Each structure stands twice: as structure tokens, then as C-alpha cells.
């Protein structure tokens, strides 16, 4: 090069880098999403790129086990569902074009969009009673064929209700669950995963909470090969109150994943998120991602989220990621916490000093750890059954841990 030749020596930062196509046409689509509310949404699976497993919301998931649920070859016909017959609760199937569909949220990922694209009819459960009522929705015969489903749960203004979604048997399922909580209503929705060991279940739950309404969402995940259940709760009206609770127990080779989103989108809203899990056995893997967004208009917000994981044996992995975004300084309070660890030796020693064996002491610690969530369901029969299920999970794990300790 001669001294008379011109060279481009523009200051670094004045020109976009070309690596990866960042300065190409449409490059805005490549810019990483900086806030949860800015994620792309669509009800059409074709609008989402193929999942590679490198995406932020998929990178912890065993993609090979459920990639067949992210495409278009899904059975979207009605599923066999039974619902408790009780006054103040109605159940019906509605067409996918019904105006009552699409009010609570829109898919943010390909799995949920695949389910939305494929379903033929939605199962609608409506709570209209102003006196507390309980409805149990049971599914146990879905089978192993890949399928899609869509459920809508609505609590009318000032209604009071508890809806328990019981999932058992085999399944190869991706689904969306919409929850609409009317003004002044009080609704609890419990989703219980006690699938067979081979089951694969992907689910996105969306809730919109009305003015001065209270919504509690509880997840209990015990069974299944892969369970990936992601609730999004939108506190869209002033005075809305939302709680997201979860309890899970992962065995060897089992993957249990929960990505929770609490969206404060109105003044004077309140939220609490508490998820607690236990892991035992080689390859047991749990994932918890908690996103809380306090928008600019959500003045007076009071929010807190936490995740606790108890490791019972070697060879397990618990990923726990709390995220908190605050767009206004005018709030009551906000915070988050995450912890993963083994037994507290002081608790074990205390119980042993009271004449309790080490094996039984370990069982009591884990039992109490998970029951903090389970006992908030509010239905004695369901709580008792889940206590027994946790006891069964603990039968071998604490004994093995005590021997190896």
C-alpha cells in the first residue's frame, strides 16, 4: 500500500460489525431481547424458527426427547377429560374460533405455538359460584401418540373456586392453558403431574388477573420423563394479587423444568413466587427460571420470588435463575432469592437428639420442605394423596443418602 492510498480508519463503534449479519437487512431481529415483555409472540408455529437448543429459554432442556412436539404433526382432537359435577361449575368444548380463546396470553416459544396451531377445540371450565367450589379435571388416557391440547379456565367476577388439573398415565403432549380471573374473583389453579415414567409433557399456562382479584397458581411435578411447565401470570388491573407456588421431586434421569413469569402491569399489584424442589439419583435435573417484570405503570408494586432446591444424592443438577426487572422506582418492595444445597446437619442433629433415627430425620426434613407448598392447595383429599406420593419418593432416597453420608 502506498502513502497516497486511502484507508478506512473510522473510530470503533461508528460502523456496525458485519459478523453474523448484524448490519444486514432485518438485523433488528438478531438483537438479543433485553426485557421479558419484548419477546416475540405468535399463535402460529411457522412464525418461530426451528429450535436448536442454544436459545436462552431452551438451553437447559433435553431437546432430543421432545423435538417431535415442536412441529406440525400433532393430533389436535379432543382428549378424554372428566370434570367434577358441582353447582357453579360448567364444562364444555368450544371451537378454536370462539372469542373466549386468546384472552390470557400468546405463545412465546415454538412448543406452545405448535400446540396452538394444532388444537381443534378447547376445553372450557367456568367458575360462576360466589361461594367456594372445587372442581377436579382428570386426564389419564392420553396415550403415547404426539398430541396437542388447549384448556381455558375462567372465574367470573367475584367467583370463588379451586380447579385441580390431575395428569396421570402416559402422555406425549404439548398444550396451552389459559386462565381468566374476573374482577374481585378468588381462584386457585393446581396442576399435578403424576405421569408414568415415560411421559413427556410441555405446557404453557397464561393467566390474566382482574381488578382487586386474587389468583394462586400451584404446580406439583412428581412423575414423567420430561415435564416442562411454564406459567405466565399477568397482573393487568389495579389491586391484582398473584401467587405462583411449586413443589417438585426429580428422580434419576428425570427432567423437571419450570419457567415462571410474573408481570406487574398495573398500579398497587402484589406477587409472591415460591418454588421448592428435591433431587435424588444419577442424572436427576431440575430447572427453575423466575422472571418478574415491574412495568413503568406498576407503581406501588410489592413483589418477591424465591427458589429452593434440596440435593439428596450425588449426580444431580439443579439450575436456578431468578430475574428481576424494575421500570419504576415508585414501588413498595421487590426482591428475589435462590439457594441449592444438601441437608442442614443442624436440623438432622436436632432431630436425632430427640431420639429420632437419622433415616427418619432426613425423611422428616424433606417431607416438611415440600409440604410447605402442598399444604396450600386447599383440598384435603388432594393434599393427602400428594403427601403419600412424596413419602413414596422418599422411601428409598433418604435411606440411600443416610448410608452414603
**pLDDT greater than 90 at residue 27:** no
- For residue range 226-283, list pLDDT tens digits in order: 999 999 999 999 999 999 999 999 999 999 999 999 999 999 999 999 999 999 999 9
pLDDT in tens, 188-198: 999 999 999 99
CA distances from 310 to 37, 50, 113, 223, 367 (A): 31, 34, 33, 18, 11
Predicted local confidence at residue 397, as pLDDT: 57
Q: What is the bridge-based pairing of β-strands 82-83 and 133-139?
A: antiparallel
pLDDT at residue 25 in the model: 45
- pLDDT for 22 equals 39
What is the pLDDT at residue 390?
86
Mean pLDDT computed over every residue of the chain:
89
CA 374-282-311 angle, 5° bins: 45
Per the model's pLDDT, the better-predicted residue between 206 and 349 turns out to be 206
The proportion of the chain whose per-residue pLDDT surpasses 70, expressed as a percent, equals 86
Indicate if the pLDDT at residue 138 is higher than 60.
Answer: yes
What is the H or E stretch that residue 111 is in?
helix 110-118
Higher pLDDT, residue 103 or 401: 103
Q: For 81-90, what is each residue's pLDDT tens digit? A: 999 999 999 9
Q: For the stretch 359-397, what's the b/e string if a residue is b when 16 or more beta carbons lie within 10 angstroms of its beta carbon?
A: eebbbbbbbebbbebbebbeeeebbeebeebbeebbeeb
What's the predicted TM-score (pTM) here?
Answer: 0.88
3-state secondary structure at position 308: strand
Amino acid at each position: 500500500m502506498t502513502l497516497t492510498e486511502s484507508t478506512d480508519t473510522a473510530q470503533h463503534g461508528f460502523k456496525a460489525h458485519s459478523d453474523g449479519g448484524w448490519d444486514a437487512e432485518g438485523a433488528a431481529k438478531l438483537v438479543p431481547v433485553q426485557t421479558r415483555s419484548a419477546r416475540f409472540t405468535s399463535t402460529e408455529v411457522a412464525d418461530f424458527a426451528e429450535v436448536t437448543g442454544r436459545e436462552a429459554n431452551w438451553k437447559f432442556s433435553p431437546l432430543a426427547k421432545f423435538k417431535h412436539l415442536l412441529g406440525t404433526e400433532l393430533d389436535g382432537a379432543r382428549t378424554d377429560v372428566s370434570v367434577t359435577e358441582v353447582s357453579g361449575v360448567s364444562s364444555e368444548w368450544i371451537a378454536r374460533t370462539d372469542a373466549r380463546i386468546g384472552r390470557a396470553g400468546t405463545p412465546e416459544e415454538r412448543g406452545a405455538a405448535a400446540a396452538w396451531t394444532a388444537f381443534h377445540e378447547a376445553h372450557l371450565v367456568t367458575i360462576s359460584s360466589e361461594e367456594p367450589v372445587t372442581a377436579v379435571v382428570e386426564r389419564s388416557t392420553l396415550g403415547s401418540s404426539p398430541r396437542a391440547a388447549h384448556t381455558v379456565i375462567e372465574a367470573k367476577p367475584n367467583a370463588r373456586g379451586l380447579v385441580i388439573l390431575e395428569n396421570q398415565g402416559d402422555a406425549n403432549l404439548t398444550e396451552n392453558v389459559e386462565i381468566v380471573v374476573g374482577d374481585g374473583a378468588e381462584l386457585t389453579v393446581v396442576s399435578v403431574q403424576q405421569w408414568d415414567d415415560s411421559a413427556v409433557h410441555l405446557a404453557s399456562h397464561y393467566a390474566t388477573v382482574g381488578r382487586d382479584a386474587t389468583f394462586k397458581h400451584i404446580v406439583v411435578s412428581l412423575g414423567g420423563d420430561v415435564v416442562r411447565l411454564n406459567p405466565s401470570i399477568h397482573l393487568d388491573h389495579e389491586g391484582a394479587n398473584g401467587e405462583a407456588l411449586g413443589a417438585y421431586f426429580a428422580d434419576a434421569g428425570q427432567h423437571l423444568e419450570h419457567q415462571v413469569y410474573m408481570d406487574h402491569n398495573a398500579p398497587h399489584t402484589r406477587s409472591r413466587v415460591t418454588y421448592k424442589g428435591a433431587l435424588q439419583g444419577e442424572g436427576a435435573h431440575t430447572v427453575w427460571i423466575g422472571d418478574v417484570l415491574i412495568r413503568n405503570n406498576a407503581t406501588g408494586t410489592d413483589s418477591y420470588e424465591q427458589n429452593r432446591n434440596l440435593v439428596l444424592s450425588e449426580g444431580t443438577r439443579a439450575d436456578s435463575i431468578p430475574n428481576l426487572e424494575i421500570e419504576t422506582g415508585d414501588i413498595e418492595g421487590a426482591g428475589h432469592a435462590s439457594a441449592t444445597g444438601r441437608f442442614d446437619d443442624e436440623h438432622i442433629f436436632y432431630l436425632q437428639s430427640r431420639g429420632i433415627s437419622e433415616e427418619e430425620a432426613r425423611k422428616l426434613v424433606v417431607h416438611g420442605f415440600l409440604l410447605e407448598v402442598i399444604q396450600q392447595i386447599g383440598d384435603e383429599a388432594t393434599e393427602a394423596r400428594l403427601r403419600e406420593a412424596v413419602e413414596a419418593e422418599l422411601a428409598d432416597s433418604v435411606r440411600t443418602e443416610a448410608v452414603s453420608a
